[in-house]
A and B are shown apart, each in its own frame.
Chain A
């Protein structure tokens, strides 16, 4: 792989197995500098393994990693001086206070400027509880402290594994704003998550991983545009005309209708909902309902439904009462 300075992070053909189980199977990531990158995947898809490889906790069986424009191999630990990470659950000495834990952590790796610990305690809203032992912290407080730990060296690249875990709504909003601010300041934020809604509001670029492989990568806008949908309810008598009118705009399906007026589903950028409405109105077809949205969830499920290879299993879907089907597990 030729190092590219415009990329904050790139992997090529990354492979990692735990015994007979392959966790990563040729992962190719391309993370541009200065963006928030959402790394999405179901449980066991290989997200945390990827994070561990990116921070030198694990060593790849094959493939290459490029961090901040330079290749990252075993022994290149100093490359991590410019990287901040929160991997899995935040880890601290339970008998030390939040402040002491940050000071102890600051002793490892890159030099941390004086006053940085206090600055970060303020940033994550833990100043008041900084003297308390971490054993008395809630999960959300530990998560905040973990984020502060990741920011200690003012990193150019921030790797966060499920950072919203345990945070209350206000904490999630504050974290989101902080991460957006960091990206606006030119830093790159790589966030792994299985929370679609969180990634949707936070990320500029998204990579979706399933069974150890990247199945889709791109800007959220383009991905959602492809997956966008506009639903419009038209009078039953006008359905064929409306369908013919909308087909040139985007693939149009008839959704459920029953005895009521049918819904037409137009697969198009949701921002074009007004245009759909206007087209119908100009043809004298007046919609009694209009919905638009993007279905990241559908896309996610479509892309990641190739079988659960993690061995973790998944939830079955319970059929609605009365449809004659039992639960599948």
Chain B
């Protein structure tokens, strides 16, 4: 518990945490403002209708979540890699091990703190996203009466939980990659390459890629078969059923953490 709380303390003060949330909210805000502008007056009626649809509640909830869980996956890979990689790059893992701390417990507690930070970050981003969508709807003159749609609101917690789980799995992947790389920069680079590489590989190996970590993360949140969230290669691969994908997300999550723990336990810490 002490390591977990210390991990939270470290992440709360870390610029990468603010930058990650800022990036998600900033991009979401840009899309919403652009949609509001197009939805207000456009030469193309089809474009105007599509833009207004994005800002219309309760559908706007789905759009915001889809954006956060899609792009959030890439941000999470980078975030997970940054946290794990910096432990090696800055030599702070060395400090903990030299104090007699269990390597496995240290890494697991640090990851648990990441998972909580992701939940907090997503919740903040979602709340700000809803506020921005309300602003966009007001600018575009779209009714906000669907904001309190009971059916939709009832489904939100389950959607949020699935999305959080998928994003955490992607953070675990970045965490594992950076641990294997024993470097912050190399971990981030390899994580991004893996994210886009999987999307690219889906063109040639769709039957295999559908079981890969980012594809299953997208499929697991796509409970209505809409093709998943934003980002890397969604839609090219025939998505697995959401519940099957969710199970595989768990497998990838556990696998990534096991790799991290085994490697850290056996590693010779020289940095």
Interface residue ranges, A against B (CB under 8 Å): 52, 55-59, 77-81, 83-85, 87-89, 91-96, 100, 103-105, 107-110, 149, 152-153
Jot down 26 A-B pairs with beta carbons below 8 A, ordered by A: A52-B269, A56-B98, A57-B97, A57-B98, A57-B270, A58-B268, A59-B268, A77-B100, A77-B102, A79-B100, A80-B99, A85-B98, A89-B91, A92-B90, A93-B13, A93-B90, A95-B15, A100-B13, A103-B9, A104-B6, A105-B99, A107-B6, A108-B96, A109-B96, A110-B99, A152-B99
CB distance from A59 to the nearest CB of B (A): 7
CB distance from A250 to the nearest CB of B (A): 45
CB distance from B261 to the nearest CB of A (A): 15
CB distance from B254 to the nearest CB of A (A): 24
**Are A96 and B268 in contact, CB atoms less than 8 angstroms apart?**
no
Tell me which residues across on chain A come within 8 A of B192, comparing CB atoms.
Answer: none
Q: How far is the CA of A6 from the CA of B144 in the complex (A)?
A: 78
**Are A107 and B100 in contact, CB atoms less than 8 angstroms apart?**
no
- The answer to whether the Cβ of B101 comes within 8 Å of any Cβ in the partner chain is yes
**Are A83 and B10 in contact, CB atoms less than 8 angstroms apart?**
no
**Seed contacts A58-B270, A93-B86, A105-B95; 10 additional CB < 8 Å A-B pairs:** A57-B94, A57-B270, A80-B99, A81-B99, A88-B91, A93-B90, A95-B15, A109-B101, A110-B99, A153-B99
CB distance from B14 to the nearest CB of A (A): 6
Task: Please report whether the interface of chain A is mostly helix, strand, loop or mixed according to DSSP.
Answer: loop
CB distance from B214 to the nearest CB of A (A): 29
Number of A-B contacts (CB under 8 A): 88
**Are B10 and A108 in contact, CB atoms less than 8 angstroms apart?**
no
**Are B100 and A103 in contact, CB atoms less than 8 angstroms apart?**
no
**Are B269 and A58 in contact, CB atoms less than 8 angstroms apart?**
yes
Top 8 closest pairs, chain A to chain B, by CB? A91-B91, A109-B99, A80-B100, A107-B6, A108-B96, A108-B101, A55-B98, A57-B269
Tell me which residues across on chain B come within 8 A of A107, comparing CB atoms.
Answer: 2-3, 5-6
Which residue of chain B has the shortest Cβ distance to A133 in the bound complex? Answer: B13
Tell me which residues across on chain A come within 8 A of B223, comparing CB atoms.
Answer: none
Tell me which residues across on chain B come within 8 A of A84, comparing CB atoms.
Answer: 99
- The answer to whether the Cβ of B92 comes within 8 Å of any Cβ in the partner chain is yes
- The answer to whether the Cβ of B195 comes within 8 Å of any Cβ in the partner chain is no
Q: How far is the CA of A107 from the CA of B8 in the complex (A)?
A: 12
Tell me which residues across on chain A come within 8 A of B13, comparing CB atoms.
Answer: 93, 95-96, 100
Tell me which residues across on chain B come within 8 A of A92, comparing CB atoms.
Answer: 90, 92
Give B1-52 interface residues, CB cut-off 8 Å to A. Answer: 2-3, 5-6, 9-10, 13-15
**Are A104 and B100 in contact, CB atoms less than 8 angstroms apart?**
no
Q: How far is the CA of A87 from the CA of B91 in the complex (A)?
A: 10
Which of A81, A88, A100, A149 makes the CB contact (< 8 A) with B100? Answer: A81
**Are B100 and A83 in contact, CB atoms less than 8 angstroms apart?**
yes
Question: Contact string, B128-154, partner A, CB cutoff 8 A, digits 1/0?
Answer: 000000000000000000000000000
